[in-house]
């Protein structure tokens, strides 16, 4: 929540910077310090990684749970084999031990699978929530900022294109004046 607040504060700062920018006379343009804008964007990026760290923690936690499930499965398998070896004294005891060992193996596989599925579900829900949060932030703040920047760059490009055409026109007129004078 603290990072979200920091990002919102930085976006407010960026908005204040845009609103307080000096306008160019006789145009619909403003003058901005690019270092200020890039500095704020950098601060926004630095404020976001906590959410990314949470996603990494979720993945690490999933791996840890899977490793514990595998270790438990292997422990139960070793235990089942030990019990089967111990009970090999007679055919009936051996048959029962084999059946019990197979049941233990089957149960441990089922438990392992259930644990894995629960872990995958948990991680998926956490990642989905994180994805929703990031989409919400993107839609709420970055889309508008990108659109405003895109309009600014398009306007600057249009002005530069007009100025180049004017210069070319002046150069053409100048060249033709020299040729007409001869």
Q: Angle CA(174)–CA(176)–CA(177) in degrees, nearest 5?
A: 65
pLDDT at residue 86, as a whole number: 67
pLDDT at residue 37, as a whole number: 84
What single string gives the DSSP state of each residue in 64-82?
Answer: HHHHHHHHHHHHHHHHHHH
Tens-level pLDDT at each residue, the chain (182 residues) = 566 677 788 888 888 888 888 888 888 888 888 888 888 888 877 776 666 667 777 788 888 888 888 888 889 888 888 876 766 656 677 788 888 999 999 999 999 888 889 888 888 888 888 889 888 877 777 777 878 888 989 999 999 999 999 999 998 888 888 666 65
Spatial contact of 159 and 26, defined as CB atoms under 8 Å apart = no
For the record, the structure tokens of 57 come out as 């923690």
- Whole-angstrom Cα distance, residue 133 to residue 178? 66
pLDDT at residue 1, as a whole number: 56
- Whole-angstrom Cα distance, residue 162 to residue 153? 14
pLDDT at residue 18, as a whole number: 82
For the record, the structure tokens of 161 come out as 């294109």
Say if pTM beats, i.e. exceeds, 0.75: no
Number of Cβ within a 10 Å radius of residue 54 = 15
pLDDT at residue 119, as a whole number: 87
């Amino acid at each position: 929540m603290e990072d979200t607040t920091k990002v919102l504060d930085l976006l407010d700062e960026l908005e204040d910077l845009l609103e307080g920018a000096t306008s160019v006379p006789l145009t619909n343009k403003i003058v901005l310090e690019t270092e200020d804008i890039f500095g704020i964007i950098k601060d926004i990026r630095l404020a976001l990684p906590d959410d990314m760290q949470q996603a990494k923690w979720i993945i690490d936690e999933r791996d840890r749970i899977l490793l514990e499930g595998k270790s438990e499965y292997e422990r139960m398998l070793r235990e089942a084999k030990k019990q089967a070896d111990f009970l090999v004294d007679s055919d009936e005891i051996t048959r029962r031990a084999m059946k019990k060992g197979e049941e233990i193996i089957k149960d441990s596989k089922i438990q392992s699978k259930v644990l894995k599925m629960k872990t995958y579900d948990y991680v998926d829900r956490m990642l989905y929530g994180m994805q929703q949060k990031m989409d919400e932030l993107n839609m709420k703040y970055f889309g508008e900022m990108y659109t405003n920047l895109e309009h600014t760059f398009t306007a600057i490009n249009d002005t530069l294109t007009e100025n180049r055409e004017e210069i070319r026109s002046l150069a053409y007129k100048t060249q033709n004046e020299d040729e007409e004078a001869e």
